[in-house]
Chain A
């Protein structure tokens, strides 16, 4: 499955795809996209990296990446950001927005605007957590299927 074409393409494209996925996740409250889409893009870049390497190298490299822990951190962080709304309000209330919090807490200008990254309240945090969760989940699915292929070949 690993050919020279895939290896060369991956060498030049993988970094671009991963950067684009991170951009989509972080700019989810300003431009089209969000946690789910950016996580899927990031996972497809990781899938390209998985396909381009041999099975042993993959197994050794992904032994250090805690994919299950990343997925759990994403789910619990999303729930925690939702629970922040209990500080005086209800569940899923956007408490950080317009509060002057240094990260993502600036007030949003109304109407059509050029889009400022430092706004949005809890939405960018939820985007980042959901993106982490989706990329960990999809990458572990792809990894399991690919390693399964290797196991069948070895038998």
Chain B
């Protein structure tokens, strides 16, 4: 049991980060805090992708000035490329969400989700 926890520690950190993100989205009422929760979820997914691609004792997939034992002993590069895509899209989407939060605050005068639902129109 203890050994499994130690070996799979990155995946357990991912699970805890997912739990924090879902809690923030589900139980907080401020729109800015919900955006922060989405960002935490995105960080958890990125960490999961990177952790899936790790090979024990391997080197970074770059040939420039690599140590000689790095030949044919490299970390999987595809999850890193996918994570790069995901990070850029996350930045763009968070900027869009914050812009809509600003617009909602201008229109309703509050950021509370429940009050916004009552003040419809």
- Given a CB threshold of 8 Å, the question of whether A touches B is answered with yes
Closest to A114 in B: B65
The answer, yes or no, to whether B63 is at the interface (CB within 8 Å) is yes
Within 8 A of B (CB), among A24-73: 30-32, 34, 36-37, 40
Task: List, in ascending order, chain B residues with CB within 8 A of A31's CB.
Answer: 62, 64
Give the contacting residue for A36; candidates B66, B84, B102; CB below 8 A: B84
Asked whether, in the complex, the Cβ of A112 is within 8 Å of the Cβ of B68, the reply is yes
Asked whether, in the complex, the Cβ of B64 is within 8 Å of the Cβ of A36, the reply is no
Interface secondary structure of B, over-half rule: helix
Instruction: Give A residues with C-beta under 8 Å from B.
Output: 30-32, 34, 36-37, 40, 111-115, 134, 137-138, 141, 144-145, 148
Cβ distance B33 to chain A, nearest Cβ, rounded Å: 18
Asked whether, in the complex, the Cβ of A114 is within 8 Å of the Cβ of B64, the reply is yes
Could you give 24 example pairs across A and B, Cβ below 8 Å?
A: A30-B62, A31-B62, A36-B84, A36-B87, A36-B88, A37-B84, A40-B91, A111-B71, A112-B63, A112-B65, A112-B66, A112-B70, A112-B71, A113-B63, A113-B64, A114-B64, A114-B65, A115-B64, A115-B65, A141-B95, A144-B99, A145-B98, A145-B102, A148-B102
Further 4 A-B residue pairs, CB within 8 A, beyond A36-B88, A137-B92: A114-B64, A141-B95, A145-B99, A145-B102
Asked whether, in the complex, the Cβ of A134 is within 8 Å of the Cβ of B88, the reply is yes
Closest to A116 in B: B64
Task: List, in ascending order, chain B residues with CB within 8 A of A113's CB.
Answer: 63-64
Cβ distance B90 to chain A, nearest Cβ, rounded Å: 12
Cβ distance A35 to chain B, nearest Cβ, rounded Å: 10
Task: List, in ascending order, chain B residues with CB within 8 A of A148's CB.
Answer: 102
Instruction: Using known A-B contacts A111-B71, A112-B70, determine if residue A30 contacts B64 with beta carbons closer than 8 Å.
Output: yes
The answer, yes or no, to whether B58 is at the interface (CB within 8 Å) is no
The answer, yes or no, to whether B60 is at the interface (CB within 8 Å) is yes
Closest to A27 in B: B64
Cβ distance A102 to chain B, nearest Cβ, rounded Å: 22
